Amino acid sequence: MPATRETPEQFRSVIDINLNGCYWMAQACAKFMRPGSSIINVASVLGLTTVGLPQAAYASSKAGLIGFTRDLAQQWTGRKGIRVNALAPGYFESEMTDQFEDDYIETTVIPRTLVGRLGRADELNAALIFLASDASSYVTGITLPVEGGILTT
């Protein structure tokens, strides 16, 4: 929604869900997590760039989540042994992309995506499994983009 039409309530609702919800969940989980555990926040490529959609609240919430991820990693990795990372998905078939205008994916997203298509769930799942597993035991505080090259265009 264009920032000039978004109400304070709409903006707060997006922030509450995407940023505050992650904050409260991480805080609650950290009380019970053991060293070696991993928190993975789901940010968005829109927290790192824009692709022409007016989404101030969404982009702000996801950029905030990226900063939140870095800060928690700094606080909890050394002290509690909890790694904290984020995924930044690009465009995947989802309820969100189903809401776009019919030609938006073909005219705006695909031309900016180097691989020339939307992502597949298994591609995002592989990155998630990596961050959750011991294969990433030396990885913390990062945001892993899984976005088909949008950030390079």
- Residues labelled as active-site residues: 58
100 φψ region: left (φ > 0), alpha (ψ -120 to 50), beta (else): beta
Half-sphere exposure of 22 (CA within 13 A, CB side): 22
What are the phi and psi torsion angles at 145 (to 5°)?
-75, 135
Q: Three-state SS for 38?
A: strand
Q: Tokens for 47?
A: 């927290």
Q: CA 44, CA 143: separation in Å to the nearest integer?
A: 9
